[in-house]
Amino acid sequence: MRILIGVVLIFIYSLSAKGQDTLYLSNGDVIHGEVKSLSKGVLFIETPYSDNDFEVEWVKVNQFQSNRTFKIILSNGERPTGIIEMTSENGDIKILTAEGAFETRLIEVASFEYLGNDFFARFSAELDVGFYYAKVNNLTQFTTNTKFKYDASRWGGIASINILQSQQDSVARTNRIDADLSFKIKVRRHFFTSISTKFAHNEEQKLDLRSSYQLGLGKFIVNSNKAYLQFTIGAAVTNEVYFDAENTQSKSVEAFGTVEADLFNIGDLNFYTKASAYPSISDKGRFRAEMNFNIKYDLPFDFYTKFSVNYNFQNEVVEGALKTDYVFQVTFGWEFN
């Protein structure tokens, strides 16, 4: 019986030790556990003997042993995904990726985070809502924004849907819906391929449905642990259906250019903006543009508040529609990651 219990205990220990990381610090301490991330020069490791994660200064790590995969950001902007090997005390690091191994220095590693093996470890989501009511004319406005994100080693996907509904006495109800499903596939170093599908419904512009299918090539200009800046160029096939008097329909081929920027790790603030221009190839002289901007402030327990601006413009519209439409939103939300 004792032998059986011993075998069971050894088996349980081997399971718990599997994937365990080990840190050897410059002061001689050794820490066993699971490294979660490195951010702003501080490494976070979860241990079985502490309720809270240990925080260790990255420059005080002499050796780092792990067989798990991390998403890494280097100071030169490169973002490899692989296993980190650090077996000497001179600051040399080897990163093992799917494309092969390469060496770098400890001070060149800006940040990294564990890339889990299961779906939920790579999945994140955001949901925020806003509501406004004014007694004058019984004006009510409701908005909701939802985003799902999935990150793998060489590709990532984002799905989002934004809904705005507004109504008041003696004025027709206004609905605006934007949906987006996009994928980015890393092709080499700072370059990626972008594949996306976008849908839009906007009653201010008498747009019943716009569906756009886009293929592009992009490049990261800045890609660090505090910010990224990227641009994408490509082509799109766009179908539009309007609910004007003539039920206008159109199909066109467009070129597009997109600039996207994100500033994060600024305390609890996050600044994000994305601007896209669509000059038509098949309908000469036609042009439309989209712009999104938001400021997000993190609150305790994964809650946040956000201020957003969404802007649309098109130089050719059907009768009775507006060329320009914009929305200001203040919302409260929660994120899962």
The tens digit of pLDDT for each residue in 159-179 reads 999 999 988 777 667 889 999
The pLDDT value recorded for residue 126 is: 94
Convert 6-52 into a string of H (helix), E (strand) and C (coil): HHHHHHHHHHHHCCCEEEEECCCCEEEEEEEEEECCEEEEECCCCCC
Question: Which tokens in the block code for residue 176?
Answer: 């605006």
Q: Which amino acid is at 94?
A: K
Q: Which amino acid is at 64?
A: F
How far is CA 130 from its chain centroid? 21
The pLDDT value recorded for residue 167 is: 83
Q: How far apart are CA 11 and CA 88, in angstroms?
A: 31
The helix (run of H) or strand (run of E) holding residue 2 is helix 2-17
Considering only 80-84, 100-104, 166-170, which range has the smallest mean pLDDT? 166-170
Considering only 178-182, 190-194, 209-213, 250-254, which range has the smallest mean pLDDT? 190-194
The pLDDT value recorded for residue 120 is: 67
The pLDDT value recorded for residue 290 is: 95
Mean pLDDT, to the nearest integer, of 298-321? 91
Buried residues in 67-84 as b, exposed as e (16+ CB within 10 A): eebbbbbbeebbbbbbeb
* Confidence band for 118, pLDDT divided at 50, 70 and 90: low
- The answer to whether the CB of 187 falls within 8 A of the CB of 214 is no
Question: Which tokens in the block code for residue 42?
Answer: 């501080």
* Confidence band for 9, pLDDT divided at 50, 70 and 90: very low
The pLDDT value recorded for residue 92 is: 86
pLDDT in tens, 144-159: 999 999 887 678 899 9
Q: In the chain, pLDDT over 90 holds for what percent of residues?
A: 39
Averaged pLDDT of the chain: 85
Give me the residues paired with residue 159 across strands. 148, 181
* Confidence band for 16, pLDDT divided at 50, 70 and 90: very low
- The answer to whether the CB of 86 falls within 8 A of the CB of 101 is no
* Confidence band for 241, pLDDT divided at 50, 70 and 90: very high
Q: Which residue has the higher pLDDT, 281 or 106?
A: 281
The pLDDT value recorded for residue 26 is: 87
Question: Which tokens in the block code for residue 31?
Answer: 């820490």
Mean pLDDT, to the nearest integer, of 86-108? 84
Mean pLDDT, to the nearest integer, of 257-273? 89
Q: How far apart are CA 337 and CA 334, in angstroms?
A: 10
Helices (H), 146-189: none
Structural domains in the chain, sorted by start: 2-114 (2.30.30.100), 120-336 (2.40.160.40)
For the cut 90, the answer to whether the pLDDT of residue 239 exceeds it is: yes
Helices (H) and strands (E) in the chain, counts: 1, 22
Q: Which amino acid is at 63?
A: Q
Q: Which residue has the higher pLDDT, 219 or 137?
A: 219
